[in-house]
Structure 1
Amino acid sequence: MLDPFGPEARRLIEDEFDGVEELLAVIPSYVSIEAVLERVMWIKSREIPREVLELEGIRDLFTFYALLGALAFSPYGLEMELVKEASIRLYMERIRKAGRLEGTALPLSTVERDEIPGRDRTILEKTHHTELGPEERKRLKLEYKIHLSKFLELWDGSLREVYIRGGNAYLTRDQAIELWRRSFERNFERAVNLLYEIRDELPDYYLRIYERLGELAREHFKERLEKMGRAEAQPLRFDLFPPCVKIALGGVPAGLRNYAITVLLTSFLSYARLCPNPPRRDVRIRDCVSDLSVLEKEILPVIIEAGNRCKPPLFEDQPHEIKNIWYHLGFGLTDRPSLEDSGNSPWYFPPNCSKIKANAPELCRPDRDCRNVKNPLTYYLRKLYLESRKKGKGESGETDGEKNG
């Protein structure tokens, strides 16, 4: 299989299993955890084992989606980085060996011989340059085309690098492979985000894979770990919050107040600050902290300030609503909680984007980073992850510069 998100994979998932959830339900009965981990354990040696490279059909699909199921427990951690890196290298090697990109999720088609005007082809492919060898000529050849709208979804380079004609982008093999890589990353992230929403329904099998992936990731990225950091409890980054949370922080009118402050803001801020990557949905605040100081000094004041910005001010208008805040934090209906009270009610998880849109559409003003995200907390985790990667690369660049200097 050239692409686990391609048409062959989609057909197998729909025809044989009626969807991804059913696929994930049957995988533990057919594939051992060790067999799943073989897909990534080779990464340190940088040599893909033949048995992994030659995996086909259902078994290839099982082992790949088993990894995705495990990543549902930590969608933006080093575990995801490890699996994504190993998977891209594996499928890219298969594409290289197959010598084609047809059959991947990327809607490419091959370029017909007379499709590009001769003069343009002469300039672009340098066909009159007799000094060029066969490999260089092959590298310059425009082999694939893709509709411009699909191309622009994935391409972030300069359009000057690409030949565009008749609503299509024409690509060399190298350009097409790079576009496939970006397509794979997008599909990979989208799949993990979707599975994040059902992780509590997944068998323990996937949690055990996730724990093993954590060990492998820490070993593989040990030199980067300090630079990149992880999605653990840390001071809130208000600049990375999703639009709905920023709107709630600014105060909302009557009719939206209880949902925006008590339901959305309380759950989002508490999880984002105390437990951004909860291992399960029934986690309690006392599982994450040893006292209530962070909650009382960093989270509750922000909630109260946001409530006071509402029109009319929420807690002046409804003083009892503070008890509801504590209830949603998992302490039961009280205004004087202790740590021991944690667990007296559920610690409410941030509502999904679909629920926010249905219950409080005024809060839902998506930005470009909302694409493929199903929950405000996932949005925040992704932004933290991207920031940490940027920081890690920046520090790595500075170090390289010092060495080269």
Structure 2
Amino acid sequence: MIPEIRRQFNESFSNEKYEALLAEIERDFPTQLDFRIAETPVFVPQSLKIKLLQACNDIIDTLVKDDFKAKTARAIPANQDVPNEDAHPNFLAVDFAVCHDEKGELTPQLIELQGFPSLFGYQWYLGQKYKKFFFSPKNFSQYFNRLNMASYVEHMKKVLLGGEKAENVILLEIYPEKQKTRLDFEISKQLWGIEPVCYTKIKKEGRKLYYEKDGRKIEIKRIYNRLIFDDLLQNFPDLETEFKMTDDVDVKWVTHPNWFFRISKFTLPLLNSPFVPKSYYLSDLKEYPTDLENYVLKPLFSFAGSGVKLNFTKEDLDAIEDKENYLIQRKVKYEPVIEDTDGNLIKTEIRLLFAWEDSAPRPRLVTNLARLSRGEMIGVNFNKNFDWVGGSCAFFED
């Protein structure tokens, strides 16, 4: 995206450096890396950065409106409504495809957004590894709002711990040691002292929750929630646990599970911005657009891209019985803009990551992640057996 920077990076790149980076991660965290790291970071020019920031402001303007909760009440499934919802999520992730506009200039287009945390620990770690092993230009940063490597960690600590002792804050997952994101859990533990705790290991006494560590029973006061209901329902439908996520308990959720539904694909039709493709709830359409080939069909209540259809017909839409659970979104054309060392061009998606303190009126943009793809869609299933694809980190021009 910045030709001179890309040229310098590619000239300095070698497979030996890439293998050395992977080897260091394995030494730091043996057997914990379970997803592909791209060979390159993404270097974002200031012109695209400005558009990304404007796009996020447009989106957040909708999220902070007084009527947002009323408009998204239907997003929360009745059997997954968790008590004690707070005023806003503590974390927000916003995914943009990098595209070209009608003038041929780089522009972001929203793909998805989540009222849910992402790889806040791992990205801090990965950014450092890219800078250590590869060409790192001056005046580029993975952080925003005057944060740096150290102040980012401190800011995240404030949001995660909320003034509590680290041992009273847990990272909640189902069998965290088996999750592909377990490397992020380990880094989060090192940075902020938050113990990854399995859903099955939590004990409940009245409205209090506890976990055991080193033979001690420790009260849980805050839950850094990384557990997705869909994961439980699809993969562990018969799981019996002492604590249920829908229990009324005396803890602070970080982020509260209801925000996973409120700020999601469900939110897309509510947004209005030149950087947000038009979206419609299927149940609201009296007539379908005549150019359905330019739309993608998405189930409202799924994750990790499951159920998305890139090609469908009017008859396919007519056959859907629960139309209230689907939307159509105008397709986005990812523009291949990153050149590898062989001259091939690669698509990229940039996820901007926000942290939102309890008392703050708006979330604060803190860092990012990026993903590179040669396939039809972003994601592992579309990029098997390719190089220069996978998870990455973006460095933004100051």
Q: 1 or 2, which has the higher strand percentage?
A: 2
Q: 1 or 2, which has the higher helix percentage?
A: 1
Q: TM-score, normalised by structure 2?
A: 0.26
Q: TM-score, normalised by structure 1?
A: 0.26
Question: Higher RCO, 1 or 2 (CA under 8 Å, sep at least 6)?
Answer: 2
Larger gyration radius, structure 1 or structure 2? 1
